[in-house]
Structure formats: C-alpha cells, structure tokens
Structure 1
Amino acid sequence: MSAQMPVLKEPSRKRMGSRKLLTILILLFVALLAVLFFNSSISKVSEIQIEGMRFVSQEEISKTAAILVGDAFFRTSSSTIEDRILTLPQINEVKVTKVFPGLLKISVEEFPVVAFELSKQGEMTALLSNGTTVEADSDELQLVDKPVLSGWTDDDPVKAQLTKKLGEISTQQLSDLSEIIPFPSSAYPDRIIMYTRTKFEVVTAVSVLPEKIEALNAVIETQEPGKITMLLADTYVPFQSENLENMDSEQKETTQ
C-alpha cells in the first residue's frame, strides 16, 4: 500500500515592486515637505533679542554675529554665533539660545569697569578688566566708585596688567581707591602709588596687589591715615609720625 505525499503549498511571493514604489513615494514626500519648510517663513529668523550690553551697541553685536531677521533659522549654529561675538573686545561671555520658531536670543556679559582715566582730549574714559578702553557711562561718572589712573601711557604693558589685577578685586575693595600712579623702580618695574579715599598713601606693586589688598584693608580699618608700603615687607607709618621725623631732620640740618 503506497503512502501519498502531502501536497506542499507554494510560498507566497512578496510584492517587492510595490514596496520599492512605496519607499520612493515616502522619500519624495519627505523631500517635498523639506523644500516647503525651508522656503516657508517659519524656517526663518523672525526676531533677534539682545540683552546685557552697555558699551557695545545692538547694531555692532548683530553685525558681528552675522545673522539678520529673515536668515535661515538652522543655517548657523549657536556656538558659531557665540564665537563671532566673543571677538568683540568688550565681551567677556555670551549665550545664544534658539527658540523655535524664529526667535534668537543673545545674552552678553561685558568685562567689568575697574578704573577710569582722563584721555588726551580731556574726556573721562572707562577701563575694563581686560584693558579695553571705552567711553565712560554718564551714570558711572556721577558716582565714581573706581580708581582714576594718572600718568600712564597708552602702550604701557604695566597698565594692561594693572587692569587685569583690579578685575580680581571686589567692587567694595575697589571703591576706596581714588587714584593710581606709576612709580617704577629697578627692583620693581611695576611699582605703583595708590591714594585712598580714606587718606592713605600706598606704595605697592601690580604683581602683588591682589594678595596685599586684604592686609591693606585691615590697616585702613584699624589705623590712622598714613603711608603704607606693601612690597617684599609691609610697613606702616602714620602721617603725624612722618611729619615729626621730617621736622627733626630739618632741625638737625639747621643746627649743623
């Protein structure tokens, strides 16, 4: 008795042609949507907000950022715009934020004002902590709470170093300094004389200024006005004692 072989079903053929056609149609649809999107108004920069500037104009920041209303929103990355704005000498930090659709926010932080200086034209200018000179703000001139630099040349490298060191000192500590004059010596090319609003005369060096400022404040808060030297060694002489020493020396000269 012979056994019958089971009937095998033929596997169903996949419709490869239909799938390829569907894939092509989807890709064409996506490409069409992309073209429509990038040519529509929602893919463009519709508003630019800039905040935090004092010494740089909004127009200057926009020009340096090289992006305008109507430009492609995704054409330039936020980091690229930030790098461009950081080339401005007044800018210390910048944050660029994109808010879809169309809003570009630019928040800048400028270097702080650490001193003032009288220009050759007789105008008061402000010095930033990185050495950049800018036009002084009228509001700041009405309340001068920073030292005024006198006797410095524009190309003096010590002045650039001084502004950086002043940037390391707190605003409260800076407020008592009224004037800073260069006073170089062979041992200390960066030596300076500082006059305080509390009537002290301070001889120190730019290189040691931040580390000496706390000791200076301690003397000012506890002693009478006098002359303070803060270099390799620190000394303090009240003006009254200094005047007596000068009088004694003058009397000795007259009796000889």
Structure 2
Amino acid sequence: MTERMPVLKEPSPKRRSNRRLLGVIYALFIVLLLVLFFRSSLSKISEVTVSGGRFASESEILAASGVEPGDPFFWPAADAIAGRVEKLEPVASAVVRKTFPGKLHIEVTEFPAVAYGLTADGAITAILSNGKELPIGADAVVDRPVLRGWNGREEDKLKLVDALSLLPDDLLADFSEIAPYPSDAYPDRIRIYTRTRFEIITAVSLLEEKAETIRAVIETQEPGSMTLLLADRYVPYTEEGGDGEGKAPDAENTGKQD
C-alpha cells in the first residue's frame, strides 16, 4: 500500500520589507509635516511684549533682544535672548517667556535708583545702585536724594552710592540732598538734608551703621540737627534759635566733633 506524503505548508513571506517601507513612508510624512509647520505662521513670533522697564525704554529692550514679529519662535533660546537684554546698563536681570503659538514676553528687573544728579544744563539723571548714571528728563519724580557738589569726586560718589543701596527704602526716600563735607578725621564725611527737615552730619563709611539711629530720631523727635560720627549728638532747631527750615548747624560744633 502506497503511503501518502504529508502536504508541506509553504513558508509565509517575510514582512520585514513591508515594515521598512511603512517606516520610510512615516518618516517622509513627518518630514513633510515639519517642513509645512516651519514654513507656516505658527512657527513664527507673532507678538513681543515688554514689562518692568523704567530706565530702559521698551524700544531699547526690544532692540537689545534682537527679536521681532516674524522671526523664528523656537530660535534663539529664551536664555540667549535674556542674556542680550541683560547687557543694557540699567538691567539687573531679564526673564524671557515663550507662549505657543507665537507670543514672547520679556520681563526685566532693573537696578534701583538710589540717588539723582543734575547736569550742567539742569537735566536730571538717575544714579543706579550699580553706579551707572542715566538721563531721565526734567519731568521725572525725584523720590531719592539729589547729590550735589560731587564733581571731581567720582570715587567717593561711587562709595556713597554703594552705601545708599544698603539703606531701607523708606529712609532713603526721606533724604532730599547729600553733599560732601570732608574733614581731616573723616575724609568721607557728608551732610544730609531730609524731607522731614532734619540735617545730618555723618560719614559714608558709617551710614549703614547709623541708619537705625537716624530713623529713630526722625520718628520720635522734632526737626533738628544730628551729628553721627564717633559719638552721636542731636539738637532740635528750637534750642539753636532757628526756625527749623534747614538751618545748618554751627561749623564749629559739627566740624570738630571728630
């Protein structure tokens, strides 16, 4: 009896070639989508806004950023744009936020003004805590002391600016004018007039140390003169026979305290 041979199944065709073809198609499709996306308006900056600037104008910040509507949204990186803005003299730090689609916001933090100056033609300048001096126009609100008599004393003025930057904001706002008043013992001695009608003789090197004493006298005493050097001395204007309108203390009494 003849035995029947079993029917052998034909091997199924390998599907690797099909998978490779599908992979190539998918890759081409993704590339096409990317090309279409980057050529569309969705990949561009549509709006740039700025906040936080007082001494640096919006136009200066935008120019420093190097970006404008129509530029690529994803390049350059936010940190790179912020680094450009931080090169502006008044800017202490900058943060750039990108919001898809197309919105870019630049927020700056500036060095605070600790004093003001006057140019020869009467223009007001803001003196920032980093020592930079910037013109701000004649209509600016002067809420910090005006520095007078510091021409030719740039190094001393920078030390004063550093000292002022360490003072509490409310105390700094009460100072109306600061002028150099050097002596042999205190080359950095200064004279301060306040908006609360006090006159203070102290030194730049002692200003931070004497800040709380100044505050305490202003808050609890009537207007008068203070000498805050090696020893502290306060005299109300009424005892000096003055009317309290910024009368200068006797140079013999204030100048020889040291």
Shorter chain as denominator, the TM-score bin is 0.7 to 0.9
Matched, 1:50 2:50: yes
Q: Please report how far the alpha carbon of residue 91 of structure 1 lies from its aligned counterpart in structure 2 after TM superposition.
A: 1.3
CA contact 2:45–2:103 (8 Å) conserved in 1: yes
Q: Relative to total residues, which structure has the larger helix share, 1 or 2? A: 1
Aligned to 2:83: 83
Moved more, 192-201 or 173-182: 192-201
Give the SS at the match of 2:171.
Answer: helix
Aligned to 2:213: 215
- Which of 123, 132, 143 matches 1:145? 143
Aligned to 1:21: 21
The residue identity in structure 1 corresponding to 2:101 is P
Quick one: structure 1 residues 12 and 183, their matched pair in 2 at CA, closer, same or farther if it must change by over 3 Å? farther
The residue identity in structure 2 corresponding to 1:117 is G
Q: Please report how far the alpha carbon of residue 102 of structure 1 lies from its aligned counterpart in structure 2 after TM superposition.
A: 0.7
The residue identity in structure 2 corresponding to 1:147 is P
CA contact 2:124–2:137 (8 Å) conserved in 1: no
1:77-226 pair list within 5 angstroms: 77-136=77-136, 140-141=140-141, 144-153=142-151, 156-226=154-224
Q: Please report how far the alpha carbon of residue 76 of structure 1 lies from its aligned counterpart in structure 2 after TM superposition.
A: 0.8
Moved more, 221-230 or 59-68: 221-230
Say what the alpha-carbon RMSD is for the aligned residues: 3.0
- Give me the whole-angstrom Cα distance separating, in 2, the residues matched to 1:186 and 1:47: 60
Aligned to 2:69: 69
**TM-score using structure 1 length:** 0.81
Give the SS at the match of 1:61.
Answer: helix
- Give me the whole-angstrom Cα distance separating, in 2, the residues matched to 1:9 and 1:181: 106
**TM-score using structure 2 length:** 0.80
The residue identity in structure 1 corresponding to 2:61 is I
Quick one: structure 1 residues 173 and 106, their matched pair in 2 at CA, closer, same or farther if it must change by over 3 Å? same
- Give me the whole-angstrom Cα distance separating, in 2, the residues matched to 1:161 and 1:10: 94
Quick one: structure 1 residues 153 and 26, their matched pair in 2 at CA, closer, same or farther if it must change by over 3 Å? same
- Give me the whole-angstrom Cα distance separating, in 1, the residues matched to 2:108 and 2:219: 37
The residue identity in structure 2 corresponding to 1:222 is T
Q: Residue by residue, what CA displacement relative to the aligned partner does 1:189-233 show, whole Å, maximum 9, x if unpaired?
A: 432111123332212222332332111111123334433222343
- Give me the whole-angstrom Cα distance separating, in 1, the residues matched to 2:63 and 2:134: 19
- Give me the whole-angstrom Cα distance separating, in 2, the residues matched to 1:29 and 1:180: 71
Give the SS at the match of 1:175.
Answer: helix
- Give me the whole-angstrom Cα distance separating, in 2, the residues matched to 1:184 and 1:155: 11
Q: Residue by residue, what CA displacement relative to the aligned partner does 1:43-74 show, whole Å, maximum 9, x if unpaired?
A: 01111111222222222111111112111100
CA contact 2:124–2:138 (8 Å) conserved in 1: no
Q: Please report how far the alpha carbon of residue 152 of structure 1 lies from its aligned counterpart in structure 2 after TM superposition.
A: 0.7
Q: Can you give the 5+ residue segments of structure 1 that lack an aligned partner in the other structure?
A: 1-5, 250-256
- Give me the whole-angstrom Cα distance separating, in 1, the residues matched to 2:40 and 2:79: 25
Q: Please report how far the alpha carbon of residue 78 of structure 1 lies from its aligned counterpart in structure 2 after TM superposition.
A: 0.9
Aligned to 1:3: none
Q: Please report how far the alpha carbon of residue 180 of structure 1 lies from its aligned counterpart in structure 2 after TM superposition.
A: 0.3
Quick one: structure 1 residues 155 and 61, their matched pair in 2 at CA, closer, same or farther if it must change by over 3 Å? farther
CA contact 2:123–2:138 (8 Å) conserved in 1: no
Q: Please report how far the alpha carbon of residue 89 of structure 1 lies from its aligned counterpart in structure 2 after TM superposition.
A: 0.9
Q: Can you give the 5+ residue segments of structure 2 that lack an aligned partner in the other structure?
A: 1-5, 242-248, 254-258
- Give me the whole-angstrom Cα distance separating, in 1, the residues matched to 2:20 and 2:188: 78
- Give me the whole-angstrom Cα distance separating, in 2, the residues matched to 1:8 and 1:211: 102
The residue identity in structure 2 corresponding to 1:176 is D
Aligned residues: 240
